[in-house]
Structures are given as C-alpha cells and as structure tokens.
Amino acid sequence: MSVELSVCVGCGHVYFPQRELCHRCSGRAWTTITVSHGVLEDSTTLLHQIGAEPPVNAHLGAVRTSAGPLLLSRLKEPGAPNMRVRLTQAPSGAILGEVECPALAP
Amino acid sequence: MITMTFDGVAIAGAAEIPYARKAQGITTTSLLASVFVKVLATAEIAHNEVDGIAVSSFTLKPDHAIDVAWQLGISPRWSMEDTHGGACGINMLQHAARAIQVGDANVIVILAGDHFQPSDFKDLVENYNRTTRDYLTPLQFGGPNALFALLTRHHMKVHGLDRSDYGLLCIAQREWARRNPLAVYRSELTLDEYLCAPVVADPLCRYDCVPVVSGANALVLTRGDRTPGKAVGIRALRCLYNPDHQEGDGLQTGLKSISERLWQDAGVGPAGIDLVSVYDDYPVMVLVQLADLGFIPDGDMRGFIRNRLVPRTLPVNTSGGQLSVGQAGTAGGLHGLVEAVLQLRGEAGERQIARARFAAVSGYGMVQYRYGMCANAVLLEGSH
C-alpha cells in the first residue's frame, strides 16, 4: 500500500502526519494523495535500544517525497543519501522503505 | 498597564536532589517531596508560607499537581501543571513570575521530577504523543536516539563536523561534571574512549545519549521585596513553540526567532554572559541552541568547540549537563535553571564561576514527528 499524504483543499499544502488545521491558510478541508517513492536524505542504524537485546540492527531513513513531506521510514537495508526509495505503509502505520537505486540528479 | 519586565520577582532558591540510576524504594512523589523540603531550607522559607505550586512530571500519573500539594500539606491559591518536557522549567518560571507580579501568589515552588521503572520509560517513549504512538512506535525505534542520530548526521553535513567535534563537547561537559558531586558520571572522559564507545545509532555513541536516572529539581519564587541578599532576578524571558510546523530541518529552534528581542529585553548581549545552561539531550542540540542564541556569530562550530567550550572560556553546562549528570525525565527541564541559580547565588562549590552575574538558560524539547517543538530562554541576574 502506498503512503497517503494529506492535502489542504484550500491551498494545496501537503502534510504528513495529518493536521486538524492548515497552518498556511487555516483551512480544514482535506483530500489525499499517495506517494510510492522518495529520495533518501539521511539514514542511521540503531544498534542498542533500552529493553531490547542487542544488536537491534534496525535501519531508519529520512525520505523526501516529491510532494514535500519528509517521511521517517524503516529501511529494509542501509542506504546512502540521494538513493531512490520505494515506500509502502504497513497496516500498523509504519512506513517501510526499500532502497532501489541512486536517484537521478535533479 | 501591561507589564513586560519581570520586576518585583525573585528566585529565592534552587535545589536538586542526587540523581540515581535504577533507584529503588522511592516514588516520583517522594522525590518531589524531598526536593521541596530541600529548596525551602535553601531559601529559608517556611512550609506554611508557600501559596503557589507548579509541577512537571511524566511519571506522576494518575496524580496531578494538586495531589502533590495535598501530599506536601500545602494549601495553594495558585496551581499549575506543565507538560513541556525539556522546556518545562522556563515555561513554569514564566507563568509563576507573572502570578507573583499580579499578586495571585507570594511564594511559588516549582517542581519537576521523575522516577522511572524500566516499564515506565518504555511506556513514555512509545506513547510520547499521538504521532509517536501511531507513526514512530510502529517503526520499532524505541525512543528519540534514532531521530537525533538523523539530525546529527544532517548537522555534520551542513557544518562539516565529524564525531570528534561532538566528542570534545561531551568531554568539556564531563570536565565540569568532575567538579560536581551530584553528577552520575564524574570520571575523566578521553577522546579515544568517546570514539571507541559502543554505537547506539550511528553517528551517536553511548556518550552522546543521556543516562536515564531518577531525580528531582526545584526553584522557589517570591516577591522581590520578600527576599533580600542572594535573590536572582529575571532580566528577560521568551518562548516560541512550533515555529516551523515540523517542516524545517530541525537545526534551528524557536530561539533563533526570539533571541534578538531577548537580548534587547535584557539589556545585555551574549558577550556579557558569565555562564550558559543549554538543554543537552544530545550534543548536537547544545550547538544548535548556542548558535540560535547568538553565541556562535561566525557559524564556525568547530572553532567554537575548540576555542570556547574546551578551554571553558565560555562556561556551558557547568553542572556537567544531562550528558554527565543524567536525565531525570522532566527534571531535565529544570536542571539547567537550577545550576544557573546556584552559580548566581555563589552556591556551586568547586565548579563556581567567580563573580558570576549574568546567566543565559535555554530549554528545548517535546519531539513531535522529527524534532523538538518547544524552545525558550531566560536571562538571569544574580545579586550576591
């Protein structure tokens, strides 16, 4: 399932997570768009976590979508900045990312 | 008439009870009671003089501030409860100072503290707010370390820093902690030790992450004419929350927008400050807040670390900060304020800054989706 982003009907500003009011135009009417890809900006690998047995070895990425919002995503494998990431959203709400290939230069 | 200054208000005392890791046989309320007794003794104020209370705590539930008042045996005519985490201290100070100015209370005790059982901490980080619960906890990252690892990585790119730069900051704070008998970590920290420490979430290692402890801090505020002698005054205080709606890069806080007015209100600039307490949940945020407040005017972070922090020509986080003293939940939001007041009252022992008159203190916190929403700052003046 692609990731659903909220779009303000009044001004078109795109949000994730959703807000109650748009900070740009004060609008409260929303529609949605979906995104299926983004570009990796930064990433980390979590190794130690309170209450969990090490090593945790979980990869997290900050993925920029073309619609604007930066999404925090659990990456299947580590990635480098500017790599293209395929995005899906699990029923739990978790955004999952799969690194595909280096992004094309803008 | 609208009063913009904080005339007529004095901070009459500050206290911290020793923080402890994996503490047993205590409760959050017993910690708050201990620090309440200690701060009143410091300020030489009688229990029955207290007519206002402010409380911040993550682990107080199901109790609230008024339940704490009942436990402490006081009958306040002014009461508030704060939920602003690392910004709670200055937020409560702002409200309490105004309450004293208009006569709603004469003696207000501000308390913050937490006692964490392992399950409390897990519950806190997984349910910090609705966004965390719905979008971050399902990612199974168990807390803010991974978020601030991303932020630190971005900060490294923007400013051309490497791990040793953040390491030197941690070492500088540890040098202060070695002079603080209440610090959890007091042993010398070397750069080799820092660089070889276990990685938590790259680029963050163990020493970049605050040790979780139990503890409590307190301030007591009175009318200015009530407390002669070592009273500490408020020269300026400003807050700005949710300035960028989580659409920035997290490397700028609300302090950036308020600092010019803050210094104008205070009538003193960064160069006139004797010590700074900056909310240090992570080393990167120390640098971000100091830059936002105008302490790094040329933007040269590496030069600032080496020329001001390491030689301690600008005393920053003179207690050792949370990175060495520990983070006792919301008490961390009051920790830097308490340290600044102790310094300005000449009560900081071996780490006392000679002739300290002006202190800048900042608060930061309440991570929403990617970084903290809250930032505030206060400029204090001592009189001893």
Identify the residue whose tokens are 């003193």.
Answer: B268
Asked if residues B336 and B250 have their Cβ atoms less than 8 Å apart, the reply is: no
Confidence check: pLDDT of B228 > 80: no
ipTM over 0.90: yes
Based on the fold, state whether residues B222 and B191 are members of the same structural domain.
no
Based on the fold, state whether residues B189 and B40 are members of the same structural domain.
no
Mutate to test the interface with A, among B22, B120, B125, B141 (most CBs of A within 10 A): B141
Q: Among B195, B226, B257, which residue terminates a domain?
A: B226
Give the pLDDT of residue B226: 78
Contact A45 B369 (CB under 8 A): no
Taking the Cβ of residue B138 and every Cβ of chain A, the question of whether any pair is shorter than 8 Å is answered with yes
Reported as a pLDDT band with limits 50, 70 and 90, residue A26 is very high
Tell me the C-alpha to C-alpha distance, in Å, between residue A90 and each of A94, B311, B312.
5, 50, 49
Cβ contacts of B201 on chain A, cutoff 8 Å: 44-48, 60
Mutate to test the interface with A, among B125, B200, B282 (most CBs of A within 10 A): B200
SS3 B169: helix
Q: At B88, which amino acid appears? A: C
Based on the fold, state whether residues B97 and B36 are members of the same structural domain.
yes
Contact A47 B154 (CB under 8 A): no
SS3 B318: coil
Distance CA B201, CA B145 (A): 7
Contact A51 B139 (CB under 8 A): no
Asked if residues B116 and B212 have their Cβ atoms less than 8 Å apart, the reply is: yes
In-domain check, residue B51: yes
Cβ contacts of A16 on chain B, cutoff 8 Å: 369
Percent of chain B predicted with pLDDT > 90: 91
CATH no. for residue B92?
A: 3.40.47.10
Instruction: Classify the C-alpha dihedral A79-A82-A85-A87 as positive or negative.
Output: positive
Based on the fold, state whether residues B237 and B179 are members of the same structural domain.
yes
| Residue-wise burial string across B42-72, b where 16 or more C-beta atoms lie within 10 A, e elsewhere | bbebeeeebbbbbbbbbbbeebebeebbeeb
Q: Which of B122, B125, B140 sits opposite A58 (nearest CB)?
A: B140
Note which residues in 28-67 of chain A have CB less than 8 A from chain B: 41-52, 58, 60, 62
Q: In terms of residue numbers, what domain contains B274?
A: 132-206+232-381
User: What is the per-residue pLDDT across B143-201, written as a single tens digit (0 to 9) for each?
Assistant: 899 999 999 999 999 999 999 999 999 999 999 999 999 999 999 999 999 999 999 99
User: What average pLDDT does the segment B286-299 reach?
Assistant: 98
Contact B369 A72 (CB under 8 A): yes
Cβ contacts of B199 on chain A, cutoff 8 Å: 47-48
Percent of chain A predicted with pLDDT > 90: 81
Based on the fold, state whether residues B360 and B298 are members of the same structural domain.
yes
Based on the fold, state whether residues B144 and B267 are members of the same structural domain.
yes
Distance CA B81, CA B88 (A): 10
Taking the Cβ of residue B98 and every Cβ of chain A, the question of whether any pair is shorter than 8 Å is answered with no
Mean pLDDT score across all residues of chain B: 95
Ordered domains of chain A (ranges, CATH):
3-102 (2.40.50.840)
Q: Which of A10-19, A86-95, B2-11, B306-315 has the lowest mean pLDDT?
A: B2-11
The contacts of residue B263 (CB under 8 Å, 6+ apart) are B236, B269, B270, B294, B379
Q: Among B193, B226, B259, which residue terminates a domain?
A: B226
Percent of chain B predicted with pLDDT > 70: 98
In-domain check, residue B277: yes
Angle between helices B283-292 and B163-177 (to 10 degrees): 90
User: What is the per-residue pLDDT across B302-357, written as a single tens digit (0 to 9) for each?
Assistant: 999 999 999 999 999 999 999 999 999 999 999 999 999 999 999 999 999 999 99
Distance CA A64, CA B81 (A): 38
Give the pLDDT of residue B230: 86
Contact B134 A17 (CB under 8 A): yes
Distance CA B155, CA B145 (A): 15
In-domain check, residue B3: no
SS3 B77: coil
Here the contacts of B260-266 (C-beta below 8 Å, separation 24 or greater) are B262/B236, B262/B237, B262/B238, B262/B293, B262/B377, B262/B379, B263/B236, B263/B294, B263/B379, B265/B4, B265/B5, B265/B235, B265/B236, B265/B238, B265/B379, B266/B235, B266/B236, B266/B358, B266/B379
In-domain check, residue B365: yes
Total number of domains in chain B: 2
B52, β-bridge pairs: B78, B108
Instruction: Classify the C-alpha dihedral B287-B290-B293-B296 as positive or negative.
Output: negative
H or E element, residue A99: strand A95-102
Based on the fold, state whether residues B111 and B191 are members of the same structural domain.
no
Based on the fold, state whether residues B18 and B94 are members of the same structural domain.
yes
Q: Which of B134, B142, B154 sits opposite A93 (nearest CB)?
A: B134
Cβ contacts of A73 on chain B, cutoff 8 Å: 139
Angstroms from B152 CA to nearest CA on chain A:
10
Contact B121 A50 (CB under 8 A): yes
In-domain check, residue B269: yes
Q: Among B174, B198, B226, which residue terminates a domain?
A: B226
Asked if residues A94 and B138 have their Cβ atoms less than 8 Å apart, the reply is: yes
Q: Which of A45, A72, A90 sits opposite B370 (nearest CB)?
A: A72
Distance CA A58, CA B55 (A): 37
Q: Which of B154, B200, B370 sits opposite A48 (nearest CB)?
A: B200
The contacts of residue A25 (CB under 8 Å, 6+ apart) are A8, A10, A11, A13
Distance CA B247, CA A70 (A): 8
Contact B134 A73 (CB under 8 A): no
Q: Which of A53-57, B104-108, B234-238, B250-254 has the lowest mean pLDDT?
A: A53-57
Cβ contacts of A52 on chain B, cutoff 8 Å: 142
Mutate to test the interface with A, among B150, B199, B246 (most CBs of A within 10 A): B150
Cβ contacts of B139 on chain A, cutoff 8 Å: 58, 60, 72-74, 94-95
Based on the fold, state whether residues B278 and B136 are members of the same structural domain.
yes
In-domain check, residue B2: no
Contact A95 B139 (CB under 8 A): yes
Contact B370 A62 (CB under 8 A): yes
